Amino acid sequence: MRRKKKHEEHVNTEAWVIPYADLLTLLLALFVVLYAMSSVNTSKYRALAQSISEAFNGTRQVIRPVPSGNLPASASMQATVPSPIPSAPLARIPPPVPTRAMIVPIKPQAQASQDKPGNDRQDLERIRSQVEHALQPLIDKNMVVVRRTNNWLEIEIRTDILFPSGVATLSPSANQILANLGQILAPFANPLRVEGYTDDVPINTALYPSNWELSAARAASVARLFADHGVEPDRLGIVGWGQYHPSADNLSQDGRNRNRRVLVVVLSNPEAPTRFYSHSDQINHTADTDPNVPDGRSSVPIATSPPITAPTAVQASVLSPTVMPPAIAPPLVIAGADRPAMATAHLDAKD
């Protein structure tokens, strides 16, 4: 019987893999132990970060100092913090003293226009008649209120029909209403003042930090639309009263709806925008009017308020066209006789 040949046994060339794997395992365990025992030198790390920042930015940045126990012994590695430069104390600005009115010289032509008030008052009557005829459906719904005195005309519009909640962008229906009103006001020379009011519901957005900004932005939107429909910009002025002159209480929804409004004041004197007065000409819409008092004046006593300084032409060209009321809201005051234009920001400032 034939015997099978035995093949020659080959040398095992893969025997090195087992000790190599053991070596890698031991190295991994070594590095894990070293990492667990290591600690970051905070002072050196911050010094390195400061050096890199100076190299790329070119300016020296002060790093918050490290506690003294962690600082290195070398004085060159210690963080240095520059001492602040002492500054002189700011001078205290005395608060404004309340005054009844600011007396400003009147131009001769303005005085002449006051001496002949008949035409101006006739214009107010014509404007009132046209506005009531054009907005009669809204007047019947108490969405628009028209008030007439011998010296000015007030057109109060609820903002519910003008703006959505929390914004100053006019709604599509408001564009048609204000366009009709602007076309009525455009042919006359009477100065106009657009006043914005809100309720006491707080607002704090990036665009409107408070109700002052919201009310002024709404007044500016109405004034801008008037200018787009033929009203001369130098006749227009805007005021943002915020929540500080309510016409009703804010305890009910109906009262808050009445407080959210835009007031268009048509003045009788064409030269009124060139003069600025204090808040003493502000009317109180909540006070009852005594029929025995002439010119539709209110029988409530007149309060005082701080004066307002009008911006110059240079300031008006740099600053925003909206002028906010002072930090402390002025008291509610009642109109006496005339209601000239207040110190408001004009869309087209002139000296």
What value does the mean pLDDT take over residues 251-255? 85
Angle between the N-to-C axes of helices 117-134 and 172-185, in degrees from 0 to 180, rounded to the nearest 10: 150
CATH code, domain with 241: 3.30.1330.60
| Per-range mean pLDDT, top range of 36-40, 141-145, 267-271 | 141-145
Q: Give the range with max mean pLDDT: 196-200, 299-303, 336-340.
A: 196-200
Residue 104 has pLDDT above 50, yes or no: no
Rounded mean pLDDT, 10-25: 86
Average pLDDT over residues 65-88: 48
Which long-range CB contacts under 8 A does 94-102 form with residues at least 24 apart?
A: 96/306, 96/307, 97/306, 98/304, 98/305, 98/306, 99/278, 99/304, 99/306, 99/307, 100/278, 100/280, 100/302, 100/304, 101/277, 101/278, 101/280, 101/281, 102/276, 102/277, 102/278, 102/307, 102/308
Residue 187: C-alpha distances to residues 75, 175, 179 (Å): 81, 19, 13
Instruction: Pick 100 or 93 by higher pLDDT.
Output: 93
pLDDT digits (tens, 9 = 90+) for 235-245: 999 999 988 88
User: Looking at the chain, how many residues does it have?
Assistant: 351
Output the pLDDT for position 295. 43
The answer to the question of residue 167 being in a domain is: yes
Whether residue 119 has pLDDT greater than 90: no
pLDDT the model gives residue 149: 83
Q: Of 113, 155, 341, 334, which is closest to residue 238 (Cα–Cα)?
A: 341
Share of the chain above pLDDT 70, in %: 58
Report yes or no on 100 lying in a domain: no
Instruction: Pick the closest to residue 280 from 261, 299, 259, 308 (CA basis).
Output: 308
Report which of residues 144 and 319 the model is more confident about.
144
pLDDT recorded at residue 340:
41
Indicate whether 20 belongs to any domain: no
How many domains would you assign to the chain? 1
Neighbouring C-beta atoms of residue 231, cutoff 10 Å: 23
What pLDDT does residue 67 have? 53
Give yes or no for residue 325 having a pLDDT over 80: no
Angle value at C-alpha 178, between 176 and 179, nearest 5 degrees: 60
Cα–Cα distance between 302 and 330 in angstroms, integer? 13
7 compared with 65, residue with greater pLDDT: 7
State the chain's mean pLDDT as an integer.
69
Q: Is residue 6 part of a domain?
A: no
Domain assignment of residue 202, yes or no? yes
Residue 322 forms part of a structural domain: yes
80 inside domain: no
- Kindly tell me the number of DSSP H helices and DSSP E strands found in the chain: 9, 6
CA distance 109 to 296: 27
Domain residues for the domain of 194 are: 114-346
The answer to whether residue 7 is domain-embedded is no
Identify the weakest region by mean pLDDT among 177-191, 212-226, 309-323: 309-323
What's the average model confidence in pLDDT over 129-135? 90
